[in-house]
A and B are shown apart, each in its own frame.
Chain A
Amino acid sequence: MKDSHSANRNSDASRRAFLGQGLRLGAVAFASLVQSSGAVGARSGFAASPLESKPPQFLGRAKNVIQLFMTGGPSHLDMFDYKSALDRQHGQPLPPSILGEVRFAQIRDSQPLIMRSPWGFKRHGASGQWVSDLLPHTAQVVDELCFLRTVKTTETIHPHAEFCMNTGFRNAGRPSFGAWLVYGLGSESQNLPGYVVINSNGPPRGKVGNYHNGFLPPTYQGVEFRTQGPPILNAKNPSGIDDDDQRRVIDAVNKLNRMRFDFTGDPEIAARISAYELAFRLQSSAPELTNLNDESPTTLALYGADVHQPSFARDCLLARRMVERGVRFVQIHYGDWDHHSDIGVSHPNQCRGIDQACAALVRDLKQRGLLDETLVIWGGEFGRTPVAQPQAMGGVGRDHHINAFTMWLAGGGVKPGSVGQTDEFGFHAVDNSIEIHDLHATLLHLLGIDHEQLTYRFQGRDFRLTDVYGNVVQDVLA
C-alpha cells in the first residue's frame, strides 16, 4: 500500500475539486432520494447527505457507541445479579407465586428447582456492586458502570430476541439500532464506515438481520470487518494501478452511476456512489486502523495477552481505535453464552474470554478522555433462569430468561450505579421493568436524540426504532 499522501501530492488540487464535486453529487442524489420517499421527520432537521455528520437534536453526552453484544444470553445470576436466596434455597422448587404462568424455552418441569450460582460473589468499588469472582477485572471498574437490572424482552427464542434487542422488532427486516443512529447522526469519519460490525467469534444466530439497514437506505447497513487477517479484503490496488489511476476510475464510475441514478431513480445507486467514495478511502484507512504498532506496551498489556491474535480483546482495542477515528457505531458480537448444560465448565471459559478486555476498554476510553463521548453497552438478548435446567446426562445449565436480566452501560451521560431491582430470585423486576423500547429510547436520549423524533417514512407511515412505545429511563442519566 502506498502512502496515499505522497502519491497524491501532484493532484491535490484536482482531488479537492473532485471531492467537493463528489460530496455535492452525493448530497444531491440523497436529497432527491429523501424527497421521493418523504424521509426524515419534519422536526428532526437532519442534513440531507447520507453520511455527513449531523447535529443531534439536543446536546447529548455521547457521540459514539460500542456495543458488546453477548450472543446466546449470558447469565445475570452468575455474573452481576447476586441473590443469596438462591444459595439458601438451592435444590428447592421455585415458589409457584414467582413461577406464575411462565413458559420457558426448554424447561418443561412443572416444579423446576432453584440453582445457586456455583461461583462466589463479592462487593466491589466505592459503590459496593456485587460481581462474580469470575470477573476480577470487570470488578475493578464497577464504579464506572451503570447496571440495568430489570431489562425485559418479549422473545424467548434466540434469533427473535436478538432482532428485538438490535432492531426493536421480533423478525428480521427492520433497521438496527446502529443503522438508525448513523441515519440520525451521520458519520464523523470520512475514511471509515460509520457503522462497523465485528463478529468476534462468529456471527449472531440471526446474522446480518442484526445489523441490516432494513427500510432505511442501504448506506446505513453495518459493514462487517474480518477478525482474521486483514480487516477487509481487497484493500490494495491491483498491481500497476496507483492511487491516481484508481481515483480516475472511481470518478468515472461515479459520474456514470450518477447518470444512471437520474435515469432510474433507484436509491441503490445513490448508496453505491457513496460506497465507492468510502471504498477508496478505506484502502488506506483500514490497514492503518489495524496496525497496532503505535499502541504503547502499557495499553497492549491492559487488554491482555490475547490482543495480538484474533480475539475479543483485539476487537475491543480496535473498537476504541475506531471511535477515536470517528466511527459512530461499533457492534461486536461475542458468543456463545447459551449454557443450557455444563454451565460449570462453559460459563467460566466464556467469562475469561471477555473480562479483561471489557475492563480494559472502559479504562482505556477513560484515560484518553473518550469515555465521556462514548457509550459502551454490554448485554445479551436475554438472561438465564434462576432454576436449573437438568440434563439427562452431563452437567446442568440454565434456560433462557426474559422477564428480567442485567445489562451494563458505561460512558457518555450515564450515571454509574444500578437501576432497577429484581426479586429475591432474580426472576421478576420488583420495580419498573426496562422494556427494549425503553432501553432504545434511553440510549438515543444519551446520544442527543428524541426517540419520538427519529423517524423514517415508509409505506405511508413514519417508522421509529421504538415503534409507538418507549420511555426514557431517567435514573440512567447522569
Chain B
Amino acid sequence: MEPAARKHRWTQFARRFVIAGLLYSSWVTGGARASDHWAFQRVEHPPVPNVGNSTWPANPIDSFVLARLKQERIDPSPEADPVTLLRRVTLDLTGLPPTPSEVDEFASESSPEAFARVVDRLLESSHYGERWARHWLDVARYADSAGHEFDTKRDIWKYRDWVIQAFNHDKPYNDFLIEQLAGDLLPNATEMQKIATGFSCNALKQYGDNNEATIDRVNAYGTAYLGLTLGCAQCHDHVADPISQAEYYQFFAFFNQAEDSSYDFSSPEQVGIRDALLRQVAHLKKEQFRYRNGPDKDPVAWAAQLTADELRAIPLDMMEAVQKRNQDRTEQDLEAIRQQHAQATTEFQHRFLQRLQAWMTKLTDEERQALNPAAQQYLALRLEERPPDPPQPLLEAFWQQDAGYKKRQEVIEMLQKSVPETETTLVMRERLQPVETHIFVRGEQRNKGEQVEPGVPAFMPPLGIEGRQPNRLDLARWSTARDNPLPARVMVNRIWQHYFGIGLVESSDNFGLQGDQPSHPQLLDWLAVELMENGWRLKHIHRLIVTSSTYRQSSRLRPELAETDPHNRLLARQKRIRLEAEIIRDVALASSGILDPAIGGPSVFPYQPPGIMDARADQTQWVMSDGNERFRRGLYIHFWRLTPHPYLKMFDAPDASGACARRTQSNTPLQALTLLNDPWFTEAAAALAAQACRQVEGKDEDRLGWMFRASLARHPAPQEQQILLKLLEEQRAAYQQRPAQAAALLEDILSSAGLDPAQLAAWTTVARAIHNLDEFITRE
C-alpha cells in the first residue's frame, strides 16, 4: 500500500536518508571504513606549516592557526591590552582575578618575558589545581551524594582533593588516568592511588544496584578517557560508531569485576580502639535492654544469653540442657529450658512490679505533677482499677530514676562519645570471586544474553594480553598507550575548549563518527603529540597555549568576519567567555577580600535559599557552615545530586548525572536576579565597599577607581566613572534620608563596623552595580 501522495513524500525525504544510510552501511558492510575515521588514526607528529617570515607566531600553535587564516586571507587580531590579558590568563589558570598590585606590576613591563613569568607564577599557584580540577570533576561527574530519590550522602571529597593535588603536582596525564581507573591494582598501591579510584565511585547508585553503577562507570570512562559515547551501545549495537553491544559489555566486564567500598583512613591502633569501644557499647546496650525488659521472650534465645551469674541460679540437673548446643537438644531438654525460662520471666516481672510499686507509692505530689498526663491519670486510679500494663511514659519515668539503669546509660553515652570519628572515602576494589558478565539483552538487567570476557572494540588497537584474564589495570594501560589514538587528542581538545570557548573539535564529548570534524586537525594532533612526548605533562600544554599569539589576541568581535566565521572557528580573535558558576562567585568573594582561600577538605554549606531541600524524601537539612567556611570557593559547595544548590544550576553547572565535557551557556533574567538580589552578592558588595572605605581615603574618584580595579582589573573610563559617581551621589542622598534602610542593608554584614552607615550603604550600591556588569562575569 503506497498511495501516490506518500511516494512523493518519500522522494522528498529520501535525499536526507540516502546519505545517512550510505554512511551507516559503509562501516557495517565494508568493515574497514570505520577505521578510516580521522579520530581513530594513530596520532602522528604533523609538520609545522611554514608561514614565511611572519613575526606573529610565538610558537608552533600560531603557525598552524596563521596558515589557515592565510588561506582565507584573514589577518589575526592585535594582542589584547596588558590588563585584559592579565585578567584573562589569571582567570583561566586560577579562576581568581588579579590583584591591583599584580596588575600594576605587569602593566609597567608587559613584555613577552614578563608575561611568561606571570604564566609561571600562575601555574605554580595552588589555585591552578582548583581551577583545572573543577573542569575534570565535570567529566568525573563528581558529587557528594549518590543520586536518585534517596540521594544518600557519600564521603568522597578526598577524591576531589586528589584531583586538585594531581593538577598542582603536574602528575603526568597517563598516570593520572591509570590511577583513577585502576590505582588499587598497581603494585604496592599507595593510599593516594586508591583514593584516585574515586573516579569510578562517582557513579549514580540506588538500592545498591551494582549493575546500574557499572553502566555509569563504563559510560563516564568512555566520555572522559576516549571521547566516545559508549552508552549508545548499552541496549543495542552503536548506530554510529563501530561498537557492538557485545563490545560494550566487554568494557562492562572490566568494571563488573570491581565494586566500590568505603576506605577507612584510621591507623590499626585507631581501628582497634574504635572496634573495642563499639563492641563494649553494643554489649552494654544489650545488657541494658535485658535489665529493663527481662528475659528474652524466646526460651532458646534466652538460654543462649545467660550470664555466668544467671547460670549459677539454674538447678544442676537442668544445667546440661541449658548449655547443650541447640541441635543436640532433645524435646526433654527443651521442656526443661521452657520451664526455667518461665520461672525466670515470672521472677523478673515480680521483682520489677515490686520496685515499680514501691516507687509509685513514694512519689511526692510535686513529682507526680511533673509526670506526663497519661501517667498522672494512671496514678490517680485506685490500685484495683489500674490496668495491668502501666502507660509507657510512667515506665520511662521509672527507669530514668532507677540507679542501675541510669548508671549504665551514662557509661554507654560516655563510651559512645569517646569513639573516635572516622574519615572515609569511596574507593574501588576487586571482588574476591570472579564475576561472569553477560550482555543485557535490550539493556535489561534481568534479561541475560551471551557471556562476554573483558576486552576492547575490534577497531581499536589490541589490548595485547594473552593467557590470562585482563583486568582494569590492563584497560588503564591500554587507554593511555601511545598507540591509542584518543586520550591525548580528547584531553588537549578539552583544554583548548576552556581557553577558546569551543574545542578544535566542537563536539568535545564525541570523537566518534557522528562527532564534528576538527577545525585544525593538524594542530590538534601536534598538541596531542606534544603532550605524549613531553612526559604527558599538562602544564606544558597550558604554557604553550597561553603564551601563544593566538591566545593573546583581542576578543573584540570583528564585524567583517561575522558572516563567514560567526563562531570564531578560524581563531582570528579571542572570545569573550562568561565565567562558570563557581568562578563568578569566587571572583565576587576574592575581589571583595572575603574569600577563604583554604584548599581541600570536606564540602561546605554556604547560604542557600529556603525550601530547596523540600524536594527531598528524607529530612536532610541544609545547615549553613560557620564563619569563613561559607566564603570558601565554589568547587567546595556540597553537591546534592537531587537538590543541587540553585545558584549552580542557574549558571549552568552540570548536574553530575553523567560525564559532562561541555557546559551549556545560558543568559537569562533569572541570572540577573541572582546577581542583583542573592545574599551572597549583597554581602560581597558590602565587603568590597567597606574595604574601599577603609583603604582609600580622600576623593570619591580614587575610592571608585580602587573598587573598579579590584573587580575588573582596569581603570574606569571617564564616562563610566561619571555614571557610577552619579549613582553614588544619588544613593548617598537617599540613604542619608533613610538611615533605617542603610542599617537594614548592612545588617549581618561583618565588615561594616565603625563606618558611617549611609556612606557605606551608598558605596555598597556602587559595588553592586560593578558586580552586575557583564564584564565582571566575563573573561574577555
Q: For chain A residues 432-468, which have a beta carbon within 8 Å of chain B?
A: 432-433, 435, 457-460
The CA of A38 and the CA of B667, in the complex, are separated in Å by 22
Check B393 for interface membership: any CB of A closer than 8 A. no
On whether the beta carbons of A275 and B9 are closer than 8 Å, the reply is no
- Distance of B202 from chain A, by nearest CB (Å): 19
Among B1, B9, B612, max chain A CB count under 10 A is at: B9
Flag whether B257 is at the interface (Cβ < 8 A).
Answer: no
**Contacts A237-B677, A275-B668 hold; do A260 and B773 have CB atoms under 8 A apart?**
yes
Whether A391 pairs with B446 at a CB distance below 8 angstroms is: yes
Q: Which of A349-388 touch B at CB < 8 Å?
A: none
Take A264-B557, A268-B576, A392-B444 as given contacts and tell me if A249 and B670 are in contact as well, using a CB distance cutoff of 8 Å: no
Cα distance A251–B744 in the bound complex, in angstroms: 23
Name the interface residues of A67-109: CB closer than 8 Å to any CB of B: 105-108
A233 near B609 with CB under 8 A, answer: yes
**Can you name the residue of chain B whose Cβ is closest to the Cβ of A260?**
B775
A348, CB-defined interface residue at 8 Å: no
Q: Secondary structure of the B side of the interface?
A: helix
- In the complex the two chains form, is B562's CB within 8 Å of A36's CB? yes
A222 vs B672: C-alpha distance when bound (angstroms) = 15
Q: Which of B76-128 contact A (CB under 8 A)?
A: none
| Segment among A56-64, A238-246, A297-305, A331-339 that sits at the interface with chain B | A238-246
The answer to whether B563 has its CB under 8 Å from any CB of chain A is yes
Whether A477 sits at the interface, judged by CB under 8 Å, is: no
How many chain-B residues does the 8 Å CB contact rule pick out? 77
A248 near B731 with CB under 8 A, answer yes
Contact B667 A256 (CB under 8 A): no
Question: Chain B contacts of A431 at CB under 8 A?
Answer: 3, 5-6
Please indicate the chain A residues that have their CB under 8 angstroms from the CB of B726 in the complex.
252
Residues of B within 8 A of A105 (CB): 235-236
Q: Is B679 in contact with A108, judged by CB distance below 8 angstroms?
A: no
For the complex, give the distance between the alpha carbons of A278 and B769 in Å: 17
Write out the residue numbers on chain B whose beta carbons fall within 8 Å of the beta carbon of A244.
Answer: 734
Bound CA–CA A458/B567 (angstroms): 10
A223 at the interface (CB under 8 A from B): yes
Taken residue by residue from 258 to 300, chain A's Cβ proximity to chain B (1 for < 8 Å, 0 otherwise) reads as 0110011110110110011011001100000000000000000
Within 8 A of A (CB), among B559-594: 559, 562-564, 566-567, 576, 578
Q: B442 and A223: CB pair below 8 A?
A: no
Q: Are B734 and A245 in contact (CB under 8 A)?
A: yes
Contacts of B664 in A (CB 8 A): 208-209, 212
Give A163 Cβ to nearest chain B Cβ, in Å.
13
A228 part of interface (Cβ distance < 8 Å) = yes
- Decide yes or no whether A393 CB sits under 8 A from chain B: yes
Residue A403 at the chain B interface, CB threshold 8 Å: no
Whether B676 lies near A259 (C-beta < 8 A) is no
Residues of B within 8 A of A460 (CB): 563-564
Instruction: Say yes or no: A242-B772 contact (C-beta < 8 A), given A105-B235, A208-B664, A228-B611.
Output: no
B715-736 contact mask (Cβ, 8 Å, vs A): 1 or 0: 0010110011011001100100
Are B772 and A249 neighbours in the complex by a CB distance under 8 Å? yes
Across the interface, which residues of B come within 8 angstroms of A36, CB to CB?
557, 559, 562
Cross-interface CB contact of A233 among B674, B768, B774, cutoff 8 Å: B674
A215 to B665, CA, bound (A): 12
Q: Are A240 and B731 in contact (CB under 8 A)?
A: no
Partner of B672, one of A37, A275, A433: A275
Report chain A residues within 8 Å CB of B447.
391-392
Residues of A within 8 A of B775 (CB): 256-257, 260
Known: A235-B673, A264-B555, A279-B676. A458 touches B566 (CB 8 A): yes
Instruction: Evaluate contact between A221 and B773: CB separation under 8 angstroms.
Output: no
Given contacts A212-B664, A239-B747, A264-B557, contact A107 B773 (CB under 8 A): no
* Complex interface bits, B431-443 against A, C-beta within 8 A gives 1, otherwise 0: 0000000000111
- Are A229 and B669 neighbours in the complex by a CB distance under 8 Å? no
Verify B727–A249 contact, CB threshold 8 A: yes
Once bound together, how far apart are the Cα atoms of A282 and B673, in whole Å? 9
Task: Decide if B734 touches A253 in the complex (CB within 8 Å).
Answer: no
Bound form: Cα–Cα A246–B664 in Å: 29
Residues of chain B within 8 A of A265, CB atoms compared: 556-557, 559
**A257 with B774: CB separation less than 8 A:** yes
Q: List 18 additional contacts besides A193-B669, A245-B731, A264-B780; criterion CB under 8 Å.
A: A36-B562, A219-B667, A229-B610, A232-B673, A233-B650, A234-B609, A237-B676, A238-B682, A239-B747, A240-B742, A240-B761, A241-B741, A250-B772, A251-B727, A256-B723, A260-B774, A268-B578, A429-B6
| Chain A interfacial positions (CB closer than 8 Å to B) | 36-38, 105-108, 157, 193, 208-209, 212, 215, 218-219, 221, 223-224, 228-230, 232-242, 244-246, 248-253, 255-257, 259-260, 263-266, 268-269, 271-272, 275-276, 278-279, 282-283, 391-393, 429-433, 435, 457-460, 469
A-B contact pairs, 5 of them (CB 8 A): A105-B236, A241-B741, A248-B727, A275-B669, A276-B676
